[in-house]
Every structure is written in structure tokens, then in C-alpha cells.
Structure 1
Amino acid sequence: MNQEKYYSLLKEKFASKEMVATELINLEAILHLPKGTEHFISDVHGEYAAFDHVLRNGSGSVKEKLRDCLANEPVDCNELAVLIYYPQQKLAQIKHQRPAHTMAEWYEQQIIYLVRMVTHSSKKYTRSKVRKALPDRFRYIIEELLTESQKKQEKPAYVHAIIQKIIQLKQADELIEDLALTIQRLVVDHLHVVGDIYDRGPAPDAIIDRLMTYHSIDIQWGNHDIIWMAAMAGSSLSLMNVIRICARYGNLDILEDRYGVTIRALIDYSRKYYQPSEAFFPKLAEDAGCFSKEEKETLAVVQQAAAILQFKLEGQLIARRPDFNMDARAVLTQIDPKNQTVLLGKKTYPLQQFQAPTIDWQHPNALTDEEHELITHLLHSFQASEKLKRHMDFLIEKGSMYLCYNNNLLIHGCIPLHENGDFKSFRVGHAHYAGKELLDYFEKQVRLSYTQPTVHDDLATDTLWYLWTGECSSLFGKNAMTTFERYYIQDKQTHIEKKNPYYQLRNQEHICQDILRAFHLPISGHIINGHTPVKEKNGENPIKANGRMLVIDGGFSKSYQKETGIAGYTLLSNSYGLQLVAHQPFTSVEAAVEKGTDIISTRRLVEKVTSRTTVKETNIGRQLMEEMADLTDLYQQFDTII
């Protein structure tokens, strides 16, 4: 009965056998088109300007297509590329520099070049898909220009008349903007963001706004994303961590100005109880702007207060979640306040710059009434932010713990392993989870917690904190997070966070193949990782395990760039194979427009296929074949279905 109902509903959409046949022919044709270009990017950490530029230039794909398309033309591809990346800014510069009487000729030539680029970039797509990619305001005009550009100039006067009328009506700027955006849209078919949009950099909200307008996207959650999602889901502990990191990198304005989260009460509380301490002065990027002494001191005391509140709340979570095996991280209970020392493992360390004026040493993890009221107020303000809620909803809708896509496994962090390569298991109650099942369990808890924002101390919400700092977390991948030690203990040996064996074993091809099998993927596929910056200047290779492992965190975050020697990796996958792209630091939009500077991108071939990959061999192709199977049944039974 359900099958009959399904086919009856399908028949309502396709009212005749001819319509069914037309759709079958269309889908069959699509299956034989070359696959679209996938663009992989990771660990952007709030660095909007560099991120936005990499999206605009498609990791160098725009310039590469320009060279292919206009190889025999007397055109400056760098100049034209900037016009495609930043049409409004470049047009303003051109109009300022060129004599007014030469603009009409310049406009016509650029429009012709851009139309040819749209045609060149759309070769892999159906006419229907290209039409949908065109902007509304000039759709008819662009379609006409595209149609004529594919002919051997049978109607040159017709094309000239269209362009001249556009210029006469002072619509050339707008048309050029739409053509440029169409090229950006067509050069990349699908975007994968492999985690860590938030923290460190100044504009994660701008990145999310940009992604929400992107035509085709998926996201694999990173540890820095999950902690913001956890705060929205009701984790006070995660919220204090979010505030602490914002204060550490001088980004409290993200909360206050852009998300409208009121933290004045926390600032007043911090100033009341804490004195500025050198260990807590903010880590500011060179281009962070000028912070006054008072502003730096405010950031320092807010960070101190948030840290102690975080350690209190973490101690409470550890006590109620023995399955998390985090007793060693209940650090406040290991402090000797009289001697100002802390016991870690079997060794005692002196504390430095340690202030804890609100701790009751008989009950070190207990909040005062004032702190309880403060945290309740902060959480309410955080959850009440409409913009923040919209951004976190987007992460939930488009995101996941991992993704199996076109025979590749996309994961931000790691698959927890033992040293012998076996999957490391996480026990909750009487259940054990490892490998794929572990990540599925984590994702289920994330989604469950997010649907219950008023439930704060349940297992699901606590699991989101575990994802930030737990030993078996696929997003963390270390034995412990030593935030306390880095703040208060001078001995740097205590600062070390031991990585899961995964990060050594992922260099071995057979280990990567075992992981691919566990996720039901072919061993010829790839694992695409972010999370750990690749130290290229020290000779580390982002291509590991004979190409089975690709690590694309090269350091978009400016705080990492001295360590990595570059400013990020991205990955491109098209019908010809895989290319890894290494980027140099981005300067500014102004420099790109005025001087024609671009992110210098070095491409490295990872894998070249023997024959072009078609849509039929992709995830989308498999979906289309399922649709075709249903349509074939409908076609064969059409006359008998009521």
C-alpha cells in the first residue's frame, strides 16, 4: 500500500509518460557530465578576510580558468582576476584612474571577457543549472550574451547593441558585478568546511554569514565550533570557556557588539575580585588595532574570572560523570591554598600568579550565590541572541561529526586509536563505542542536547564538553587539556598535551585503509583532516600515508603562522583528480585591488585519475540513479497506477 501511495504521489509530479521519459533522459545525461569541483577548507578561525579571498579566487581556480579561456587574448589575467574577485572595489579604482571618454570601450571589452569566462566555467553543467546560477536582475541579458558567445559571431551587431545600451543606461557596473559573482559561483560546485570556524580570529560571525549565502556547502564540526554550540545548548561550563577564549584573543566585541551578548555584569564581577595578571594579558595579532592599558587589564581580569569559574564548573561535571575518567582534571581539589601549590599526578608544583578570591577551600568547586546568579544571567543572554541562535542553527543543519562523500572521509580531528592501531573505545554506562560508532554516538548527543536548551546538566550536554577536552574525543585527540597548567605553572613539561596515537599512525597507509573500511569506504579513498597545523617550514608533509591522508590545516589563524610557515592549505577535487593548495598570508582587500596582489598559491598534485570522473561516480550520481530506478518503475507501471 505504501508503495502504491508513493507511486501515486510521484505520478502527480509527472502527469504523463512523456514527462517521465523526459526526466529519465535528463538524469541519464547528467550522469555522464564531468563531476563538479569540490573545494575543501579547514581551520579558518575567524580570519574572515583571508577566508573570503580564498572563496572568491577558488584557491586559484579562477585565475587558472582565465588563463585557459583567454590564452590567446591580449589581456592581463591578474587585472581581470581582481575584477572578478572584487568587482565593486576594482570598478571604483578603474573609474578613478581612466579618462571618462575611454570607459565605454573598457566596459564592453571587460563584459565580453567575463561572458566568455562564464561560458568556459559552465561547461560541466546543464543549461538548467547554469540558468539557476544566474542572478535575477540580469538573467535574460546574460542568457542572451551567453548564447551568442557560443556561436561564431553570427550576430556581432546584436551583442554590441546590448552592451552599448547597458552602458548607456549606466548599468554596466551592476552587470559586471553579477558576471563576476556568477564566475565565482560556477568555478566551485560544492564547498566542504572541515571544522573550526570559531575562536582566535576577529570575525567568525562574518564567516558564518558568508557561508549561509553559499550555494552548496557542508560542515564538519571542529572542537572550537562545538564549544559555541554547547553554550547555545545550555552548557554553562562551555559558555565560560567561550568567554575566556574571547578575552584571551581580545575578541569580547564578538560577543558584545556583533552578537549582542551582555557581559557587563561579568566585567564588573571581574574587576571586583581580580587584579590584572601578566599571564592573562591578551594574545593580540599584529593588526588587532590599538588596545589601551585599561582595555588590556579588563581583558586580563575577565579571562582570570572566566578561568576560575570554568575550573569550578568542570570540577562539578567531573564529579557527576565518572564514566568520563577525568578525575585528574579536577584541579581545584588538588590545590594547597596555604602553600600555593598543586598536586598533579604524584608531583607537587608551585603556583604562580594564582588568584582565587571566591573559592571556598572546603568546597572548591562550589559556586557562590553571586556566581550562580551571574552565570545564569550570562547563559540567558547568550541563548537569547537571535543572530547567534541563527548561526548555531546553521551549524546544526549543515554540520556533522564526519562526512563520507565521494569515497572520502572528512573529519576535523581524529579517530581515537590505541598504539597498536585498534580503535580506542569510550564507555558510557554498560555501552562501549569505538570507530564509526563512537562518532555516531557523539553526533547523536550533540543533536539531542541542542534540542533541549533548558536542560543543562544532562549527559548529552556534558558530552559536548567532553568533545572539547576528553581523551576519547574525536575532536580533541589528546590525553588532557592543560589550560590550568599553562596559566599557573612555570614548568613547561606540565603544559604538554600528549596526542592520541592516531597522529603518528595516520602516516601508515594500512591504518588509513582500516579506518576507511570501518566507514564503508573503498581503500582507494582519502581521509581529509584539519585540526592540527602542518609545520611545513619544519619539513612536515601534509600528504601522508601514500596519499591516503590529507591534512589541510596549514594555519589560517595568524597565531599559528610563525609556527607553520604558511597561511593555510586548501584542497581541490575535480574530474581530473586532487590538488593540494598551499597559501601565503593574505594582506588586505585594498592591496589586492590597488596593487593586484593575490594570495600566492602553490599547487601540488595529489592524485590524477586515468579518465575524467563523471557525476555517475559521485554521491550525487548515486542519488540520481535511485531516482531513475523509481522513475523507471513509474514509467513501466504508469497506465496501471491510479
Structure 2
Amino acid sequence: MTTTKYNIEKDVRYMQLLSQSFPTIADASTEIINLEAILNLPKGTEHFLADLHGEYEAFQHVLKNASGNIKRKVNELFGNELREIEKKELCTLIYYPEQKLELVKSAEKDINDWYHITLHRLVKVCRDVSSKYTRSKVRKSLPSDFSYIIEELLHEHTEDIDKTAYVNVIVDTIISTGRADDFIIALANVIQRLSIDQLHILGDVYDRGPGAHIIMDTLDKYHSWDIQWGNHDILWMGAFAGNDACMCNVIRMSLRYGNLATLEEGYGINMVPLATFAMETYKDDPCTEFVPKVEKNDKIDEKTRYLTAQMHKAISIIQFKTEAQLYEKHSEWEMKDRELFKNIDYENGICTIDGHEYEMVSNNFPTINPKHPIALTEEENLLLKKLRHSFSVSEKLHKHINTLLGHGCMYAVYNSNLLFHASVPLNEDGTLKEVEIYGKKYNGKELMQNTGMMIRTAFQVDSDSDEKDYAIDYFLYLWCGKDSPLFNKSKMATFERYFLKDEGTYKEEKGNYFKLRDNEDVCDRILDAFEVKGVNRHIINGHVPVHVMNGENPIKANGKLMVIDGGFSKAYHNETGIAGYTLVYHSRGFQLVQHAPFTSAADAIKKGTDIRSTTMIVEMSSHRMLVEDTDKGDELRTQIEDLKELLYTYRHGFIKEKRN
């Protein structure tokens, strides 16, 4: 390596900082050797998931079974050595160790013998999943209580005659000291953790399903993950930031699917004021069009169903009013045509859109003044104030929004893959479309970056007040604006679906991205705009469910684009025909794992049922990818160069070694 005196003098301050971590030539040399070795390890396994929509049990199970990878490992390791029932039992133990141990201990006659056999099997699985990592990385993933023992077992084999007794005594002592249960739980958790190196969530943790808050709790503790915000995540972020229209949408969505668990149980949002207001205001209204959409298995009594419908209508009316007020305030959004309360003939129950008259399903609007249809009543204003307070003081919601901000962004580039939730706005000819944000126009990468900055502005205490106010308002545009990268449709036809009989008005025309995304040239143009390098580069996103049952292929543009929204949410199962995708990117290439519906964690524990998954090979590499082929490899090579420069400064006296 050639290092000039000029470079050394220029970088001497940085070298002095680096020398604090590597105070001697020996320290720097050892780290170079370590990093060079890491470059030649197999690439870590990345998992990509999108549109979880509160389906926490299915999500947690997919993490526990590593999208079927742990089951595959068990089959490979034990083959015909174990019966199918034994392999299934071993997998269930790895997924749900605490619960499975209770069942085993209540039924097993010789528990010590079972412990002995099971511990050896678990160590074998753990050894396999840890084989692509350095000892240092494996050590960091081990629980402190058992770190030394697990490390010893992972690197000693009973096949080694000289070590057989040593290994067996370790296992026997674990059992005799009463630590077998804790040790099994620790091993199972290590296997789960090492099976997925990096988890990518491509948006939409929230809405529809019952446990978005549980998913966020799970992610909060997860070892390595990132998220590209989805439109439903943005809605919740906007609600917490103080956007009334977003808050109303969040509540409306929860009521629409008969699911208040995340709001009430997860975040402690008080729904009593809304219930009181709704019962009084709509006491004589059947609210037929607002009956919640619930699964057949979800039992809900008639009284609760009716109250939910009343609350649903009450918050929807307030939502349309608050949205219209923002459309009035921001004429640059060009969304005044969505102020549909202004288009209603309240005497005859007719709504006029684009010069066409449409008959309304119902015409009972006790809180609307036809002369000022988007004005809130005094009672509605008071209700909003109470709801706004409830959102703002929720500590858990505050924590989860900070988690989304800390781990999230509008887009990301990982290992030649461009990740975003929904779209990149395009013109009809496939060129990048300019979109205005706070008086300036951006497209492509700049649009995504400035959108992300605007989102963060809404939560910054020291932000310019005008810009912060705009940022808070802008959450609504991101939710339903026609040029929003998170929506990208002609309109959100929520009003039409509730109130108009003509189903032709329900159509939401998709933006140009969705029309052109199967065009390889268009995908290449987007990848170029985001400066994504590499021979095998891809766009990966979700947002629009893939209709597998209708023959739609999630792989588009000759493999350049992968759409991985397979319908995790139960609300989509009948529409997609499946229950979600996981895209797995390991050292040998891409595999798309297609999931069947998950019954429940209880069934998985008691019956050993697993998510039935089908794996489709998307793209295989001509050689096994190593760490040196990844973004991490680029980082390590930079570190190696810096360390070599540090060696130069030591050996030529620019910096003195700090020996003890």
C-alpha cells in the first residue's frame, strides 16, 4: 500500500482516534487478520417481509421457524435417523421451548433420558446454524448464563473419542444441577437468532389485525432489523404527531375490522368518549353501511356490533370533515375534489361527482350543516380534543413511534437491493415524476429522502414552527395523495364505498409505477436513479397484494422486481389465496417462501402444526456469496485499509504505540 506523507498528515487526527481502539501494532495486525478472515465467510441470511398488518402470531411464528429454514435444517441433519414425529417435536421445541417443555414434562416418563437426547440434538442444530459466523459473533448472541458452556459444546464433537467423555459430562452436569430447562430455552433462542442475520420489514406493521403493538414489541427486542415505512405506519405516526385526520383514520380502520385491541389494550387509547358521543348522536340510525368486517370465527354479539357501527360512522364523518379542512388549507395538494360533503344534495340524497349524480346509500347526517358541511360541531371538536390527548399521552405508542423512526426510513439499499414499501412516482413515459413538498419539487431518490426528512421534522422539538405544522399536515397527503410514494392512486374511494350505491365509483386507478413496473427498462431507470450498483440488482416492495389464486406472479420485469405482499392479513386471504410471503436471500441466492394460513401458536405447541410453506427459487448465484460480496464486505475492506494506514503511522513514527 502506498501512503503519502500528505495523506498521513491529513488523517493523523483520525489515526489518533483509531489508535485508541488499537493501541499497538499487534492489536491492529490481529484485527486485520480477523477482518480478512470474515470476508471469506458465507453471506448472512436476510429475510424480507411486508404488510404484516397486525397478524402477530403468524409473524412471530415465521421468525421462530425462520420461514421454514429451521425445519429444513432439522431434516437435513437428521434425515432418516429420526422419525417424522420426532423431527416435528424437535422443531416445535425450538420454536416454543418454554411451552413445549411443560407438555413434555407432564407426559415423559424418563425425563433425564429425554433431556440427554434432546440436548445433544439441539447442540447439533445450533452448531449447524452458527457455522457461517465467527466465534466472536456467535459469542455475542449467547446468553451470559450459558455463554461458556454453549461455546464449548458448539466446538467440541462426541465423534472425537478424546472429547466424548468431556462433552457427555457437560450435558450430564447441566441435567443434574437442574439447569436443563433453562439451557434448552437458551439453545432454542440462539438457534432462532442465528437463523436470520438481518430482518427487513417493507412496511405496514399496523391496521387490520389485532396485534400491531405486539409486533412492535417483538421488533423492539430483535437483534438486527430495519423497516421501510408503509402508508399504514405513516398513518399511526401522523396520529401521534397530532394530525386529526390521521387519528380519525386510525380509529376508523380499527372499528371497520372490529378490532380495538391495538388501540385500547396495546396503547391505552380511551374509546369511551367516542362511544358516548356515537350512541347519543346516532341512536336512531341503523348504521348499516358501517357494520364491522369481522371473521366468521370472531364472535361478536349484536349489541357490540351495533355500538361498533355507530362509533364507526361517528369517526368516519369527523374524518371526512378534518380531511376536507386540510385540502382547503393546502390547495397545492390539488385534492379539493375530495371534499365530497360539499357535493351532496342533502334533501334528495344525491352526490354529484365530475358532473354525474349518484344515489346515496343513506342520508342521515345529524352533525352536518349543509351550508358549512365540513365544519365540526362543538361536540365533535370536544371529542377530538379528548382523543388527541389520549394519543399524545400514550407512553407505549410514543416508544413505538420512536422505534419506527430509529429503525426506519422511506427507502433503503442493501446488497444491491432497493427496498421501499409501495412505489416511486412516475410519468406516463416511465420517467421519474416531480412531486412538490413544502414549495420545492423532487423526484426519485431526492423525493424519498426529502419525504423522510419532512416526516422527521414533525417530531423535532426545535423545528421551525411553520415547517413543523406543514410536516404534521403532510402525513395525510402521504396517506392518500395521488402522487404520494406510499399511495400513488387517483383517489382513496373510502367515501364512495360507504355512501354511494354505484360500485363504479369505487375504482381507484393505480399510478404509473404500478402500470409500468413489469417493464425492465423502467426498473433499471429507477435503480440507476437510486444509484444501486451490482450485476444482479433488484427492487423489492410490497403494498399491493399479489393475487396468486388468479395466477399473478410476484416476480416481475424479468426478475428485476419482486412484490412480496402475499396477504399476511386475514382480510386478504380470500383475495390472494395465500397468507403471505417471505423473501429469503442467503449465500446461494434468492428464494421466495409462500405461506399457507397459520392456525395459532396454541396449535403449533400442542399439535406440532407448522406454517405450511412452499419455496420457489427466484435466482441462484453462480458461486456461493461471501461476506466480501456484500455491503458489509465494502465496510470491512474500508476498515482494513484504515488499519493498514494505522500500521504505517506506527511504523514510521507519526503515532507512538501505547503499550501498557
- TM-score relative to the length of structure 2: 0.94
Tell me what 1:525 maps to: 537
**CA-CA distance at 1:620 after TM superposition:** 1.5
Tell me what 1:355 maps to: 364
Residues 17-28 of structure 1: pairs in structure 2 closer than 5 A: 17-28=25-36
Q: Within 2, Cα distance between the matches of 1:386 and 1:315? A: 30
**CA-CA distance at 1:4 after TM superposition:** 3.1
2:654 matches 1:640:
yes
What amino acid is aligned across from residue 218 of structure 2 in structure 1?
R
Tell me what 1:206 maps to: 214
Q: Within 2, Cα distance between the matches of 1:257 and 1:544? A: 40
Q: Within 2, Cα distance between the matches of 1:146 and 1:315? A: 62
**CA-CA distance at 1:103 after TM superposition:** 1.6
Q: CA contact under 8 A between 2:479 and 2:487: conserved in structure 1?
A: yes
Residues 130-209 of structure 1: pairs in structure 2 closer than 5 A: 130-149=138-157, 152-209=160-217
Distance 1:481 1:153, change over 3 A: farther
Tell me what 2:566 maps to: 554
Q: Within 2, Cα distance between the matches of 1:510 and 1:572? A: 25
After the TM superposition, which of the residue ranges 266-275 and 235-244 deviates more from structure 2?
266-275
Tell me what 1:282 maps to: 292
Residues 86-485 of structure 1: pairs in structure 2 closer than 5 A: 86-99=96-109, 102-149=110-157, 152-274=160-282, 275-288=285-298, 290-428=299-437, 431-452=440-461, 458-485=469-496
Deviations 1:7-51 (A, max 9, x none): 222212211111111111111111111110001111111011111
2:22 matches 1:14:
yes
Tell me what 1:510 maps to: 521
2:586 matches 1:574:
yes
Q: Give the counterpart of 2:61 among 53, 58, 73.
A: 53
User: What secondary structure does 2:268 align onto?
Assistant: coil
**CA-CA distance at 1:261 after TM superposition:** 1.4
Q: CA contact under 8 A between 2:349 and 2:362: conserved in structure 1?
A: no
**CA-CA distance at 1:595 after TM superposition:** 2.2
User: What secondary structure does 1:286 align onto?
Assistant: coil
Q: Within 1, Cα distance between the matches of 2:112 and 2:618? A: 45
Q: CA contact under 8 A between 1:232 and 1:450: conserved in structure 2?
A: no
After the TM superposition, which of the residue ranges 174-183 and 354-363 deviates more from structure 2?
354-363
**CA-CA distance at 1:383 after TM superposition:** 1.2
Q: Within 2, Cα distance between the matches of 1:241 and 1:284? A: 18
Q: CA contact under 8 A between 2:211 and 2:261: conserved in structure 1?
A: no
Deviations 1:59-89 (A, max 9, x none): 1110111222233633532221111111122
Q: CA contact under 8 A between 1:417 and 1:424: conserved in structure 2?
A: yes
Deviations 1:426-485 (A, max 9, x none): 134652222222111211111111225996982211221111000111111211000100
User: What secondary structure does 1:70 align onto?
Assistant: helix
Tell me what 1:539 maps to: 551
What amino acid is aligned across from residue 448 of structure 1 in structure 2?
T
Q: Give the counterpart of 1:628 among 628, 633, 640.
A: 640
What amino acid is aligned across from residue 472 of structure 1 in structure 2?
D
Q: Within 2, Cα distance between the matches of 1:171 and 1:259? A: 37
Distance 1:533 1:453, change over 3 A: farther
What amino acid is aligned across from residue 177 of structure 1 in structure 2?
I
Distance 1:429 1:51, change over 3 A: closer
User: What secondary structure does 1:26 align onto?
Assistant: helix
Distance 1:241 1:247, change over 3 A: same
After the TM superposition, which of the residue ranges 335-344 and 106-115 deviates more from structure 2?
335-344
**CA-CA distance at 1:5 after TM superposition:** 2.6
**CA-CA distance at 1:151 after TM superposition:** 6.1
CA RMSD of aligned residues (A): 1.8
2:96 matches 1:82:
no
Q: Within 2, Cα distance between the matches of 1:34 and 1:301? A: 57
Q: Give the counterpart of 1:496 among 507, 530, 555.
A: 507
Q: Within 2, Cα distance between the matches of 1:300 and 1:52? A: 31
Q: Within 2, Cα distance between the matches of 1:311 and 1:251? A: 21
Deviations 1:355-409 (A, max 9, x none): 3211222222122232222212211210110011101110010011111110001
User: What secondary structure does 1:148 align onto?
Assistant: coil
Q: Give the counterpart of 1:62 among 62, 70, 73.
A: 70
Tell me what 2:3 maps to: none
After the TM superposition, which of the residue ranges 499-508 and 4-13 deviates more from structure 2?
4-13
Tell me what 2:5 maps to: none
Deviations 1:297-334 (A, max 9, x none): 11111111111111111111001111111111111111
**CA-CA distance at 1:622 after TM superposition:** 1.6
After the TM superposition, which of the residue ranges 564-573 and 450-459 deviates more from structure 2?
450-459
Deviations 1:174-195 (A, max 9, x none): 1111111111111110100111
**CA-CA distance at 1:142 after TM superposition:** 1.1
**CA-CA distance at 1:147 after TM superposition:** 2.4
After the TM superposition, which of the residue ranges 244-253 and 624-633 deviates more from structure 2?
624-633
User: What secondary structure does 2:65 align onto?
Assistant: helix
Deviations 1:111-159 (A, max 9, x none): 0011111111111100000001111221122122122238624222222
Q: CA contact under 8 A between 2:437 and 2:451: conserved in structure 1?
A: no
- TM-score relative to the length of structure 1: 0.96
User: What secondary structure does 1:450 align onto?
Assistant: coil
Distance 1:403 1:517, change over 3 A: same
**CA-CA distance at 1:2 after TM superposition:** 7.7
Q: Within 1, Cα distance between the matches of 2:77 and 2:598? A: 26
Distance 1:150 1:9, change over 3 A: farther
After the TM superposition, which of the residue ranges 554-563 and 5-14 deviates more from structure 2?
5-14
After the TM superposition, which of the residue ranges 523-532 and 178-187 deviates more from structure 2?
523-532
User: What secondary structure does 1:175 align onto?
Assistant: helix
After the TM superposition, which of the residue ranges 262-271 and 31-40 deviates more from structure 2?
262-271
After the TM superposition, which of the residue ranges 376-385 and 188-197 deviates more from structure 2?
376-385
After the TM superposition, which of the residue ranges 587-596 and 232-241 deviates more from structure 2?
587-596
Q: CA contact under 8 A between 2:202 and 2:420: conserved in structure 1?
A: yes
Q: Within 2, Cα distance between the matches of 1:286 and 1:334? A: 37
User: What secondary structure does 1:91 align onto?
Assistant: helix
Q: CA contact under 8 A between 1:477 and 1:499: conserved in structure 2?
A: yes
Q: Within 2, Cα distance between the matches of 1:202 and 1:60? A: 24
User: What secondary structure does 1:471 align onto?
Assistant: coil
After the TM superposition, which of the residue ranges 589-598 and 512-521 deviates more from structure 2?
589-598
